[in-house]
Homo-oligomer: A and B are copies of this chain.
Amino acid sequence: MPSIDPTRRGRRPGDSGTRDAILDAARRRFAHEGFRAATVRAIAGDAGVDPALVMHYFGTKQVLFVAAMEFPLDPAQVVPHLVGSGIDGLGERLVRLMLGVLDELGDTNPMLGLVRSAMGHPDAARMLREFLGEAILDPIAAAVSEQTGADRPRLRADLCASQIVGIIVARQILVLPELAAADRETLVVAYGGTIQRYLTVSLAP
């Protein structure tokens, strides 16, 4: 009976979670090759599927990218949770949260795909800017500014963003050896102090 032939066409029996398999493969490929280098064919191959099926589900590589980079963290929840406990130690809490996300999501981390694609792909750069800056750091800096009277909250948010992006690039992409190997709490203290400083220190030249 050819009903178990693995090379047959047509619909497969059961509740095939194929769409999710494609999204997962896409996240993995985008995360460590970037938008341009990650090919639809390779993603389809990883998901064990024909490239045309990817287009059937998403229509366009671009749309697939946007769907795959949807972030599993809701800023509307995370920001109040960070700021709610007060300004003291806010930097460390933010860094701890971020390192945690980086470590547990690993290969499938949308943030990695976003950062890697942002170079040379303006749409990805915009998505990263909007998520990191407008959704997370701007509200945090605004809250701090409201409570401490610190000036230029937007610039403070940008300063924080530059360090956070730098962490992702240096640790996950360049894989600077001591940084990649360092104990997480050591990094929380080192980077947390920087973030805290950017949020509160005087910015007059």
Contacts and interface: CB of A to CB of B under 8 A. Distances in A.
Contact of A174 (B129, B152, B173, B201): B129
A164 B184 CA distance: 21
A118 B165 contact: no
A154 interface: yes
Interface in A27-68: 32-34, 36-37
Contacts of A176: 129, 133, 158, 161-162
- The binding surface of chain A is classed by DSSP as helix
Interface in A123-158: 125, 128-129, 133, 152, 154-155, 157-158
Contacts of A188: 205
Nearest to A33: B120
Contact of A163 (B33, B115, B162, B186): B162
Please classify how large the interface on chain A is, using the bins under 10, 10 to 19, 20 to 34, 35 or more: 35 or more
Contact of A125 (B165, B173, B203): B173
Contact of A170 (B161, B174, B201): B161
A177 interface: yes
A119 B133 CA distance: 21
Given A120-B33, A201-B190, A165 B158 contact: no
Contacts of A165: 166, 169-170, 174
B167 A155 contact: no
Contacts of A204: 186, 189
Given A119-B116, A125-B174, A174-B128, A179 B205 contact: no
